[in-house]
Amino acid sequence: MFLTRKTYPLIFMVVVGIIGVYFWHFQAIAESDWSYTEHEVPMTSQSFLSPMAKLPSPDISQKIAVVVTAYSSTPEETDDTPFITAANTSVRSGIIANNSLPFGTRVRLQELFGDTVLEVEDRMHWRKAGNQVDVWLPSKEEAICFGVKFTTMEILSN
């Protein structure tokens, strides 16, 4: 028999999920700004799988004045594995190096990068202070052009 006492919760969850997606989709259509003729098929810029509201901004747990510099994956700026961070991940946009924050700490440098969330995944030379941050950039030229900047770092709570 297909319907047993054990399958009722599963069937209930599937039906509720289908109904929820159905109504969420039509809510997206109703909230969209439609301008189409009667022969056109309406298209929405947001699918029913994307959230309708903006995500809440992360909570700021601390603000610190920092010196911001940049580095790239060149042997003279890194160790013998220039494309691997100290957290054992590959370098990419959005990672920073800092000696005082634990790996995985999410931060924002709003004056320089807006609302972009950066993550601590690398370390700097041991003589660098905890109030210095190194931002990874793809090329040495970009890192040199970045120069030295002074800003406030917002440490985000997880």
Give the pLDDT of residue 158.
65
Enumerate the β-bridge partners of residue 65.
Answer: 152
Whole-angstrom distance, CA of residue 5 vs CA of residue 90: 49
Pick the CATH number of 60-156 from 3.40.50.300, 2.40.40.10, 3.30.420.40, 2.60.120.380: 2.40.40.10
Is 70 exceeded by the pLDDT of residue 49? no
| Sequence ranges of the domains in the chain | 1-53, 60-156
- For residue range 83-141, list pLDDT tens digits in order: 888 888 988 999 999 999 999 999 999 999 998 999 999 998 888 877 899 999 999 99
Residue with the bigger pLDDT between 91 and 11: it is 91
**Over pLDDT 70: what percentage of the chain?**
68
